[in-house]
Structures are given as structure tokens and as C-alpha cells.
A and B are shown apart, each in its own frame.
Chain A
């Protein structure tokens, strides 16, 4: 095997030397030529321009123009010299400012090492008087410093410069100095003290001094610099904590906002340190103290700070549970007497198992007296922080608070239990985003919680919401919710059915929701069955309508519950069993296999599946695919037949088992390609002389074309496709191209076109007996031979090449899309004045589409054949669940006047761009390649059923 590998390698090298090197050399030549041309011209032009400039305004204009064009790395230095030269002469600060900023920009050029201009920059810095220019120069130094992260000597020097200018009177200069310190300040541990005799400065101390600067902007910059130090891995001292705490009461919101961040950082660094509580002898953990302080900031005067504080609370997981739970407790009192919250009362009422809502007079009346001395109104720290955050005026704060609640609840089950009431209350928020966020949050923590009936009541009320996003999010939530009582289940069912009648489009989502609801709560569903199926012990009831979505919904719930509840089928009436059989077949993804006693018809097949551990359909899939392995040994006719029925089997399997649909479709497509290839090669045309088969070649070229299309589909429409599959797909495409070439090439000139398509050969691993393998073997011959020969060689190679087995990936899903709206059923045309636009609402669900923002397009086909492609905005895509997306967008239609209404087709396309996956081959550009050949293949695959919309553009009235 080793020997073989070597052979392959060698082959490849040969191949490279043939194809890659000449062209690369050529390319380099071109590049260097270009540089030689531009280098003098660029800087010279600038020099001339600057000399020509009569006034500062002129010079500024020239510089601005100059800045618009990029500069090559090689010419940067020349340009810099000219700029510096001009800088020394220039009196006008605005021009100097521009030059300084240009220096900074230029030093960022990739491939240019800016250490050569640093000396000059520091030099001009020392003579500069204008504060603005100074600030800009420091910015330039920052750019230089960040470009040279390894050079410690330079960094030390820059830090020195920054320290020197820290005492400048202008806040801008001080800001920049602090920024410089934050970005370049040395990390003590890595720097050896003897480095160039410069004692390492305590950057932290220097920055810390500016926490009390008179200018709020400088204070902010100081805190930011400190945070920057932290980001770069410098461990901040704990002493900063006290300084930062003082800044929390700063007058300016940006200072407070940054200080909150700093406190958070310190609390994460030293969570277990002990800090004293002022004005008492007690001590607490630092993280708890910081938590209390940040909680306090949730009621800050500025909403920016509130958002910041609320966000950070979520990531403080080390905080003690005692403090955490305080955030939900506002310690109510009324007239100095302790009062229980409505939440506490509700909990007591429902958890005591009392079902009657026997309210007593004044059960919310205040209870015991509060000791006036013990009540703490402000310094109670964490008390009620979330209560405040969740009822904040600004929805930004509320969202941040909900997010924080989510994160904390995920890490602490007991907190999750406690915050539930508050989350449920947020379902009634006025702003949709907040409602949606809280529903998502609840879903995320649903493992830790069980909903009480009263909470469920509030939750279910949201099903009335007019926003589809919210309803679907709620369905998702209900899928993974635990309900405590059978009344709860009943309530949920009733509300979902109401939802179904109000919004019929939610059908699938509701069915799915009920499926999970049923399988999660079999024992709670059991007592409800007679009522739900409206069976009667003595009388037969009317058979419900099988097409009623509501009835199906009920059945889905019951059947899924029955799966783990063997006693349930006894309660079914005859027609229920019939309906089961029907639904099991038509909605197999919603209705599980049941063991139904006494029902031989169903049970015989089903029971065996339960006994055998392995999934039979999976087995079947494997068997059918293995069958195809023997393809090689069959005669063409037999191979065709085998492929045909395997494809049929796979398609049927995909329809039946939704989980296997992706795999089945994927393999079926591949087999179809193979089938097409075999068929094409079986054509009679190969035996006919060249001039005669021109007419007959239709089938072969059509096959080639179809194989290409299918391979693109395989490559781009399935998620989870791995590299090894891609290679096989490419191989198939290569074969298709070879076929195409054979069909057309005899009459056209040469094989360059075909060879150009083989750029990806180098990516292909060794594939024994494959087309590529042979191709590589024969490459030297191909390069030299005439077109006619090439075709002949290729033809034999195609015939001889073996069928490659397609390994199946772990998880594969076919991208699919369903257009929900427009439904395409309306007979009323959409009327609008011709020449103007009409907007059409498009609502579609996308499954397993990767990066839909960039790939999914909407296509509108007009009856006159005109096609219009619309790129939806990124914001139009929602992500309701993993692997699922929703597109809600508006499409604008317009056309000239028609005499009568006609239908336009709307469908979704999946666009692909193969250049993203395969490196472009540059050497073929502009060569002998004919223009039809695409180097980066772009295209679209329709992946939804088209929907017809009736429209009628009317002529404009005059």
C-alpha cells in the first residue's frame, strides 16, 4: 500500500508540474511587473501634488484623494517618507492631523513592517504643539505598536512615550495615552526586568491613577484601558476593586457603565476573596459583594448602565444561592408590616393541593409587624434586582434581565424554580421581543421546572397572540414542558385547539406540540381519554370526521401517550383503531408504533419491530445500498434494473421514515446519477461515425447535464455532507463533464476546456480503479495527444471506470422549503396599477438550510418568461429552532399592463457558489479557455414547490 501511495504522490507531482508551475511563474511575473510600474508613480504623484498645493486646504484635498486608493506594501515606505517630509514643513494643524492619520493607516498595510517609521513618529510627537495632532499621532503609534506585538523594546518605548504625555491638558491626548497603555502595557510576568535597563512600569498603577481624572472621558478611557489589559491576559490586582466601586457613583453614565464591567471582571478573577462590609464587622465573598453592587446598578438612573448591569448579572454563576434568591425578593411591606407577594400566595394555594380557589377575605392582608430598625431600604444590595429589572420602563433592560435570568436559572435549578413566576409574568409584556425572549428562556430552563396550573394558564393565554413567531415559540416551549395535573393537560389541549381554529396555519406546529405533550405525560392523559374521545360506556357515539385537524390533534396526543401506557388502548372504540392505522401510515412522524392487543393486523408487524433492537428501516437502507455494491459484476442491463428498483425503494423509504429521508434521498440521487451515466454509455451512438451521431447525441448530453445538476444538488442542498462525500460527488461531476466533452468535443477545438475542469483533481484522495485514477495515469498522454485521441481515451476510461461507493455521513438532511403564504388558492387577483409596485407577503419555513441569509432567494416568474430574483434581507430570517428557519419577507411585483389576470409563480431558490468551496484556478483565466467555461460555478437550485399568485396589473387611469 505504501508503494502505491508513493506512486500516487509522484503522479500528483507530475500533474502539478504540468499544470501548476508554469502558470504560477507567469502570474508572479505579471505581479512584479505591475509593482514596478506603480511604485514610483504613486509616491511621486503624491510628492508632486503636495508640492503643488498652494494652501493648506489644497494639500488637505490631495491627501484626502490619496487616502481613497490603497497603497501596495512595497511602496508604503516611500510614501511615508514623503508624508513625513511634508509634515515637518507644514504649519497648518489640520493638514498635519491628516498626515498623522495617514501614517497610522499606512502602517496597518499588510506586509509592511512599521518599525522603520516609529522613530520618526516619536520624533515629530515631541515637537508637536497641537493637542489634536498629538492625539492623532498617539493613535498612529498605537497602530504601529499593535502591528509589532513581539517587539518588546518598541512596546516599552511606546509605553514610555504614553506615560510622558499622560499629563497633557487635553483630554483627547490623555485618552489616547491610556488607550496605548491598555493595548501595549507590558504584562509583568513576561517581561524580564533587565530588558534594556528600562524598569518595567507598573502600568496598572498608572492607569489606576487616572480613575480619578477630572474629565469623565479620561476616566472612561482609563477603565477601558484596564479592561483591555485584562483582555490581553494581564491579571488585574484586587486593589482595583475598591477603586472601581467608587466609580459606580460617578456622575457620568459612561464611567458607571465601564465601572460595572470592571467590577464584574474583578469578581470573576477573585471570586473567593473576602471583603469587609463597610460599617460592620462582617465579611463576605468578593463575588457576592460585587453581585450586590451590580444588582444595585440595575436601578441606576441611566438605562445604558441598567442594561449593562442586567446583562452582567447573568454571567455571575459563582454567587451564593442566598444572594441569588434575594434578587427575586423585594421584601414587601405595607404600612410597616410584612406582606407576602402575590407569587407566594399563589404558590401556597396551588402547592397545597387545594383545587377549590376558596379565597378568603383579606388573605393578602399584611401579617406580622416589621422591625423598623431591621428594614433596609437601599443597601440591601441584591434585593429585588430582577423585580426592578423586569419591570423597567425600557424594554432593552427587560430583555437583558430576562436573558440574565435565563443564564442564572440554567446553572441553578433552585433558582429556576423560583424565577418561574417572574418569567411567566413576562409573557404579558407589551413588547413582542420581550415576550419572545421570555418564552425562549423558559424553554431553555424547562428541564428544571414544572408548571403549576395558574402559571400554565398565563402561559397558554399567549397562544392568542397575533404574532406567529410567538405562537410557534410557545408551541416549542410546550413540547418540553412538564405539567403537574391532568387539568393542566386538558387546559393546554383546549387552548391549543382554540389556537388551531383561530390560526389554521399553525396546524403542524400544534400537532407536533401535542405529540410531545402526550409522550411526556401518559399518566395524566389516561384519565382524560374517555372525555377526549367522547366515548360512552353504553352508547356508541358518532364517528368523528377523520379530516378534522382538531380531531387529529386529539388523536396525536392520545396515541403518543398510549405508547408508554399499555392500558390506554382498552379505552379506544373501534373507529379509533381504524383511525390509528390510517394516521400511522399518513402521519408516521407524529404517530408512534403502538402495541395493540388483539389487533393482529397491526400488532404482528409492529411487535416484531419493538422486539428487534435495531431499526428495520435502517437495516433495509443498508441492505439496499449493499446490494448496489455488486453493480460492477452485472451486465449493463442488470445494473440498470438493479439501480432502478433500488432508487425506487429508497424513495419510498424516504417518504415513510422521515428521519431517514435525508440519507435515502441523498443515496437515491447518487444512484440516479450513476444510472444516467450507464444509460448514456449504453447509447448506440458510440458505435456510429462522428458525423452521424450529432442528432442522436441529445440523450447523452441531456444525461450529462442532468448529472451535473444532480451533483450540485447533492453538494449544496444537503446539510451534514462531509468532505469524503464531496469528493465522490465531484468525481461524478467530472465524469459527467467527460461525457459532455466526448459528446461535443470531437467537433470543437481541443481539450483545454475539459482539463480546466479538473482543477479539483488534486483534492481527490486515492480512489482505486476510479475514473480519476486512470485519468491521472494517462495525463501525460492526454496533454500531448490530439482532440480525437483524447476523446477516444476518455471514452474507454469512462466505460472502464468502476462505480464508486458513496459512504454515508452520520447525519444528513435535505434542505427543503415550504411556502406557507401566499397559499396560491385565491381566485381574486391582486390588482395594482401597472408600472407601480405591489407587495406580496411571503412566509416560508426552511429546513436544514445552512446560512440562509446568504443562500436563500425568492424567484418570481412572470407569464412572459421574465424572471425576477429577490434577495431577502437578513432580518427577514428567524431561527425558531435548530436547523429550522423562517422567512417572512415582502416581495415587490411590478409589470406592464395586462388585459386579464394571470398567474405568476413564486418559489424559493438555494443559490450556491462553488468557488467558496474550491480554490479558483487562476492560471486558466484569459487563456485559451472558451468563454462558456465558468471558473467559479454559481447557480441556483429551486427547492420549494412553486406557488401561483394571481395578479392583475391594470393600466394607469388618466
Chain B
């Protein structure tokens, strides 16, 4: 029995360190290779020794696929390819390929330069690793080898985020990575065709949430800013991502910048808006490079008007934080544990007019987490106590699909079964129940290291000759085309492919002469009359029963029904019985056996 095996090395009932092993029809594929932001020890990377105890990863894995550039999806890539050792192909989209090394380098800098970690991958390793990357286009079918093929679909989570279909023969798996079903200011919605995979591996971060419309969320955000600014307060919109690194800066930053610049004049927001240095320039650069990956609006209008020019946004300088009057600053990192955002926070925390907006959830132990949980007195380094008087707001701007979105995608792809990753166990439980109830699709949610085995029904494609197909089609009624139908033909297996041809052609191809295969059968009849008479009686009997068939009485005394020959003979030993010789070819087996059974019952008594 063929099967698909899935083992999450990370992201099983968890968010972070996405890494999923899939074995499909003898091929092994690794989906994503991320790091975990909650750990600083060995646990931050997936345990690659699970894949192979000894021996090279390259021999075991056919390919690695990276869905998008967030570090929890690609953070362990240099470690995996250079330090553990993998030389096979790594597939990702073009934007991911462009942005991924920047984030990896950033991650490396913080880990090595700031935290002083040893035995971390080097810049050179990142470069070497990126050399193994094969970039793919959307909807491009890439043949990894003769049997394994992959195809990318638009996911809308961040610039270049993609969902991947992995296909071997007739078996296929779709891995969504992270995706977003509602378009935002810069990216479109995820889309997949009705590819009916055997398994759909989907993220489930927001499995238990149905979100308000995006316009409401946008307005809500701006209203919060507005109110603070009217009070004369300053707004720090901290962090542009969830992680400790500014990993998610680009798309989220972008969405918000576009949203803010677009809406602020409409909402009468007339205060300076600052942005962490360098961010807008970089965002501009990549968005201009990858216009096709953005949404309809940007695609349509970028020729006439440059969405990437911000009249209202200025680069932030440290000195600006002390300027009087209201202002809005977008600063990093998001969890307020270091860097610019923390500095600003410390400056502004004392004033109750000010506000800080936290856009994502924060890891325990960070300042962000503390203030979000309502702590008002913070102990900073140097035993300072910082009293937080400013308002703290939480805004969900995350570019993940909500419960409805997930269901919608599952509905679009129509998989045989669904596997949930990248979410919390409790939330998955709910979604799993819903999927099974409403879509009637089996659903799995393995923990890390747990293997799900999925039996698949193996379908073997068989080529059929056109002539045969047409001949058979001509016999049947057309509209009921989806019903299974009986078909006569010869199956030829040659060089591990199968063909169904008509028997004549099969004989010709194989160079064989046709053998006549006849079945003969003797039927004893109690009949005292002469052979001819018996034959005549048989003829009239059959004629009366088999009205649809051609029954003939030949001059030599034999009877034929279609091609079946019946002869009457008188065995010498017993004049009271006649022997009927019934002979038919194997093609007429059905009719022949029917006839014999009929004749065995005897002839009706002649009305003599």
C-alpha cells in the first residue's frame, strides 16, 4: 500500500521553527527550515539528526523548499546546508531569494556580534548556502527529478510568500507556508486551483479567530493614533514583526506605511510620521523589483503614480524623539527588548498622553510582554524603575488567514485530508473538529517528531489507444460519462508503462499469430429421433428463446447462434441419446456458456 508520511521537526502544534519532512512515493522533501525565536540553545534549530543518523543529508533528501523569507521559515538554512551538510537543491521564489540573505545576515549579526555566540554560521556560509538555491516563478512547474515536480502558488503573506505543490506521479501534497486570504494594501490574497492533493499541510496560527474586515482594522488603528495625537501625545508603533529580529519588517512595514500614508490625509492626520531609518528605502527597492508579486492596485497604477513615494513619511533620527509636539514613529524591534523602539519607549513612557502600539504578540520576558500583560512598573538595567504611564494598545495586523480563510483555502484546493501545523495545539483542536465536521475531510495535527502516515490509493495511469477508445465510446451513451464502464482490450506492459490496446493491435505489435481458442462441450440429450431432426428441434427451440440473436440452420445440419456452432451427433453405443457438440470461441464465452446451460436443461417436449 503506498503512503505519504509527514513528520514535523518543528511547527508541529507550535509556532516557530517550521520544518516538515514529507515522504511521498519514495521521495523525501523538507518543507521550510526555520529557527525558533523562543530559544537560544540547540532547540532553536530543528533536530536534523532525526533525518539521518549517519550518512549525508543529501543522499536522503531530494529537495528543500522554503515558503517565504521569515526567519521561522528559513532561519536554520545556512546551519542546515553548510554546518550539517546538504548539497541538494533548495527551492524558493525570487523575492524570497533576494530578501532571505539580508535577514539571515541580520540574524547572524545579532547572535554573534551582540550576544557573542560561538559556533554560529558565518557570512560566508550564508553566501554558500544561497548558491544552492534554485529560484522558481509562480505557477511554474519545476521538475526536481524525473518524477518529483513542484509548483508555487501565490500566498499573499509577505512579498514572495508562496504555497507549494509537491507532486510525484498521481500523489501530491500542498504545503501552504503562511498565507493570507484577505488582500491588504500591498499584497493580494492567496489563491490555489482545485488541484485536489492527497494532503494539504496548512498553517493554523489564527485557527480560532474570525477577523473584522480589514478596513475596520485599518480605521481602528488610525483612530487610536488620531486620538492620541489630538491630545498632543506621541505615538510609538513598535515593531514591525513578531520576532526578536526585524525579520518581518518588510511586508508589515509596507502594509502599514501604505495604509498610513494613504489614509492619514483622509483622516486628517497632520503630524510628522517617522520611520526607522533605512526601512522605507529597502522596502521600496524590493517592492519595485517585484511588482508582479503585489496586488492589483499597485500593479495597475504603478506606471502612473508611484505608490512608493511617501510624502508624509520622514526617516527617523534619534534626536527627533525629544522634539515637542505630537508625532508618530514606527520603530523596531517589536518586543521592545532592545534598539530604537526601547529607547523611544523609555523616553515617552512617563507621559500619559503618549501611546505605544504593539502589533504582534511578544515573547515572555521582553518589555513588550510585560507591558501588554498590564505591568506598570518596569525594572530596567541599572536598577532603574520605569513607571509606564503611557497607553498601551494591541493591534492585530497579522497577515495570516483567519479560521474562515483557512476553511476557504481548504475548500478551494479540495484535498483528501488536511494536516495542521504552525499553530497552538488547543486552537488546532477546534479547527480540526470543524474541518472534519463541515468539510468531511480527515484532519491531522501531529506534534513535533510525531509521524503521520497517510495511506493513498495508488492509481496507475494506463494509456489507451484512440481507436479503441472511440470504438468503445461509440457503443455507450455519452452523458453518463462519469460512470465506470466495462471495456475489452489488451493490456500491454512494456518498459514500465501500461497501454490498453485492442487485441488485434496487440497481436500485431507483439508479432504473434492469432490463436483460435475454442471451447467445446458435449451435451447429452435424450432423443430417439434422427440427428437432423434433433438439430431441427434445437434450432426451433433456440430460435424461440434467443430472439435477439441470429440463429441459423445450416444445410449441413448444424445450427449456428452468432458464431457458436452446434452439431448433433448420434453416439454409436446409445441410440436413445444424442450428443450435441457445442463449440465457441473464447470471445463468445458468455453466450456459449449460456447456451450450454440452456441446452443442458433439455429440449422442450415436442408436441408430437
Contact = CB atoms under 8 A, between A and B. Distances in A.
- Point out which of B210, B220, B267, B408 has the most chain A C-beta atoms below 10 A from its C-beta: B210
A343 B478 CA distance: 54
Interface stretch (B181-189, B490-498, B509-517, B540-548): B181-189
Nearest to B374: A361
Contacts of A395: 296-297
Contacts of B478: 166-167, 169, 213-214
Given A299-B408, A372-B430, A332 B210 contact: yes
B439 A391 contact: no
Interface string B512-542: 0000000000000000000000000000000
A341 interface: yes
A461 B407 CA distance: 37
A214 B430 CA distance: 38
Given A213-B479, A251-B194, A331 B210 contact: yes
A331 B216 CA distance: 14
Question: Secondary structure at chain B's binding surface: helix, strand, loop or mixed?
Answer: helix
The number of chain A residues touching the other chain, given as a range, is: 35 or more
B211 interface: yes
A359 interface: yes
B481 A394 contact: no
B408 A212 contact: no
Contacts of B182: 391
Interface in A374-388: 375-379, 384, 387
B315 interface: no
Interface in B286-323: 295-297, 300
- Point out which of B188, B191, B296 has the most chain A C-beta atoms below 10 A from its C-beta: B296
A392 B216 contact: no
A343 B430 CA distance: 27
A390 B213 contact: yes
A240 to B, nearest CB: 16
B266 A378 contact: no
Contacts of A391: 182-183, 213-215
A188 interface: no
Interface string A305-349: 000000000000000000000000011111110010111000000
B40 interface: no
A598 interface: no
A461 B404 CA distance: 32
B433 interface: yes
A341 B215 CA distance: 11
Given A334-B209, A393-B183, A425 B479 contact: no
A378 B430 contact: no
A209 interface: yes
A210 interface: yes
B433 A394 contact: no
Interface string A416-448: 000000100110101100000000000000000
A426 B215 CA distance: 8
Given A212-B482, A431-B297, A461 B267 contact: yes
A330 B412 CA distance: 20
Given A372-B430, A428-B266, A378 B411 contact: yes
Interface in B192-221: 192-194, 208-220
Nearest to A336: B208
Nearest to B222: A428
Interface string A450-468: 0000000110011010000
B549 interface: no
A359 B392 CA distance: 13
A793 B594 CA distance: 112
Question: Secondary structure at chain A's binding surface: helix, strand, loop or mixed?
Answer: loop
B485 interface: no
A430 B213 contact: no
Nearest to A421: B216
Contacts of B379: none
A357 interface: yes
B262 interface: yes
A376 B295 contact: no
- Point out which of A301, A377, A391 has the most chain B C-beta atoms below 10 A from its C-beta: A377
A495 to B, nearest CB: 9
Contacts of B211: 330, 332
Contact of A393 (B194, B267, B295): B295
B271 to A, nearest CB: 16
Contacts of B214: 391
A377 B209 contact: no
A736 to B, nearest CB: 53
- Point out which of A210, A331, A343, A426 has the most chain B C-beta atoms below 10 A from its C-beta: A343
Contacts of A372: 430, 433
B460 interface: no
Given A336-B208, A372-B433, A169 B216 contact: no
Contacts of B268: 457, 461
Interface of A: 166-167, 169, 209-210, 212-214, 251, 299, 301, 330-336, 339, 341-343, 357, 359, 364, 372, 375-379, 384, 387, 390-395, 422, 425-426, 428, 430-431, 457-458, 461-462, 464
Given A330-B211, A425-B213, A428-B262, 12 more contacts: A209-B479, A214-B478, A301-B192, A333-B403, A335-B209, A339-B212, A377-B403, A393-B295, A428-B263, A428-B266, A457-B267, A461-B267
6 contacts: A212-B479, A332-B211, A333-B403, A342-B216, A364-B220, A461-B268
A-B complex: 5 closest residue pairs judged by Cβ atoms: A393-B183, A342-B216, A214-B481, A461-B266, A425-B215
